Structure 1
Amino acid sequence: MGLRRVRADLHIHTCLSPCGELTMSPRAVVEAARAAGLDIVAVTDHNTTENAAAVIEAAAGTGLAVLPGIEITTAEEAHILGLFATGADLAPFQAEVFRSLPDIPAKMKYVDDQVLVDAADYVTGFSPRCLFGATLFSVQETVGLIHRHGGLAVACHIDREAFSIVSQLGFIPPDLGLDAVEVSPRMTADEARAAFGPFGSLPVVRFSDAHKPEEIGSAATVFLAASPSLEEIRKALAGADGRRVLAT
């Protein structure tokens, strides 16, 4: 199988995230991603994977690949992305996350509606617990949990002054086992290396962290890969079999 350029934005929120706009419905995410020329996206709501299946279904037949994912808040209040294969059974993983997330009611003035939807954008319910909170998992435990369930672990927006592994720990533990580090749209990979020093063998990726449709694809990473899939991205991050990160 030949290799080609695969344009990816693997940090996108839906209306289920308390910070995501209500307009971030499955159909809107798919339409915006296709308009932005993306080949693959990931649904990464805060501490939950529950809307991912609806986006995957909404994308069926469009040519857009969708990965289920999550943005976990660790006990240190660092954000870690977990990215999984499209057909993965994430129920056991989600159960572990919810057991570690304090069950604080979502109906508080600083928490917006956390909307569960289906592939046709119909509201099916609301998440009753506050998804903004920190889990009881340490950074190391979070990375281990993601890997045990077959996922990729990416440290989020390391250039941000809050909720990043650098802001919370002051450094990136060399033995953490991350698959990559992400910088936000405001910084390039080269600028991140200059600001934070070398990351050893860790590749640097850049995604949008979109909370509204017009932000989708505003930052993306181009991989040289055979197809838009988790396993091909895994190989590209590892520099295996000719796959690699082309541009961020």
Structure 2
Amino acid sequence: MRSFIADLHVHSVLSPCGDLLMTPQNIINRSLELGLDMIAITDHNSAENIGVALELAKDTPLTIIPGMEVETVEEIHLICLFDTLDQVLLWQEKVYNSLPDFKNNEEIFGPQLLTDQSDEYMDRVDKLLLTATSLSINDVIKEVRSIGGIAIPSHVDKPNYSIISNLGFIPPDLDAAIFEISSKAKISKVIDKFNTIDNYSFISNSDAHYLQDIKRSMKLYMKAPKVKEVELALKGVNGRNAEIM
């Protein structure tokens, strides 16, 4: 097994709530400064900056996990992680088809920017991304798994956009065993507050919207920087393991 330092929840300038300095190259540079081995770029309901990020990182020791943070019809956020650009773009097509036909209002939500290989702004996404899809939480978990990825309910300890805050409980038939807690949360306090989740595995990430928020969030002991290996490490399978830093 090898150890990998990871932060698997990072937003770029494509997320309207992301800082304008959160360009793919700046994210990569900051991650390398921090000694991260792998990060996931997880913009809201879109993956249009992933291809550029993968190209910019390909000659560095940093692994980019293609990802997305999806908002379900219940207004629950889930981190969706994949191994390949093709997988995440297939998922993006499904998500885009499930979004309402609204245009983004930059004055209210902020710009949704795309960058090029020179890390310059080149375009923007007009479709409103900061909104709920028509997909249920069960739909998301099932569809992501069918493509070869994993879906993890985001920041379950937060008072909004989390499965517990929005539903009040975790459905017993939910096909998910891994939950994310926010970077400043303590697992013991989360379990004490929500005793229904004490049998699950946990991941912690920065949910970075600013460069200074990116952090050494997790240490994963696994064979390779792959999504399936991440899942096995978080579940502690066959000698793999995970530690919140």
Count of equivalent residues: 245
In 1, Cα distance between equivalents of 2:217 and 2:123: 31
| Contact 1:179/1:237 (<8 A) preserved | no
Choose from 220, 224, 227 the match for 1:223.
Answer: 220
| Contact 1:26/1:118 (<8 A) preserved | no
| Structure 2 counterpart of 1:154 | 152
Is the counterpart of residue 92 in structure 1 residue 94 in structure 2? no
Shift of 1:197: 1.4
Shift of 1:89: 3.4
Is the counterpart of residue 183 in structure 1 residue 144 in structure 2? no
In 1, Cα distance between equivalents of 2:232 and 2:150: 11
Counting only pairs closer than 5 Å after superposition, residues 1-248 of structure 1 correspond to structure 2 as: 3-199=1-197, 201-217=199-215, 220-248=217-245
In 1, Cα distance between equivalents of 2:172 and 2:53: 35
In 2, Cα distance between equivalents of 1:55 and 1:74: 25
| Contact 1:74/1:137 (<8 A) preserved | yes
TM-score (norm 1): 0.93
In 2, Cα distance between equivalents of 1:213 and 1:43: 13
- Could you say if the C-alpha distance between residues 159 and 208 of structure 1 is closer, same or farther in structure 2, counting changes exceeding 3 Å? same
| Contact 1:26/1:120 (<8 A) preserved | no
Equivalent position amino acid for 2:2 in 1 = R
- Could you say if the C-alpha distance between residues 213 and 97 of structure 1 is closer, same or farther in structure 2, counting changes exceeding 3 Å? same
Shift of 1:79: 0.3
| Contact 1:17/1:114 (<8 A) preserved | yes
For residues 109-150 of structure 1, the C-alpha deviation after alignment (integer angstroms, 9 at most, x for no partner) is 212110011232122210011100100111111111211111
For residues 125-179 of structure 1, the C-alpha deviation after alignment (integer angstroms, 9 at most, x for no partner) is 1001110010011111111121111111111001110001111001112321124
Structure richer in helix, relative to its length: 2
In 1, Cα distance between equivalents of 2:151 and 2:38: 17
In 2, Cα distance between equivalents of 1:238 and 1:88: 26
SS in structure 2 of the partner of residue 45 of structure 1: coil
In 1, Cα distance between equivalents of 2:98 and 2:87: 19
Equivalent position amino acid for 1:213 in 2 = L
CA RMSD of aligned residues (A): 1.5
Shift of 1:200: 5.2
Q: After the TM superposition, which parts of structure 1 deviate over 6 Å for at least 4 consecutive aligned residues? A: none
Equivalent position amino acid for 2:58 in 1 = A
Equivalent position amino acid for 1:24 in 2 = M
| Contact 2:180/2:202 (<8 A) preserved | yes
Structure 1 segments unaligned to the other structure (5+ residues): none
In 2, Cα distance between equivalents of 1:128 and 1:23: 20
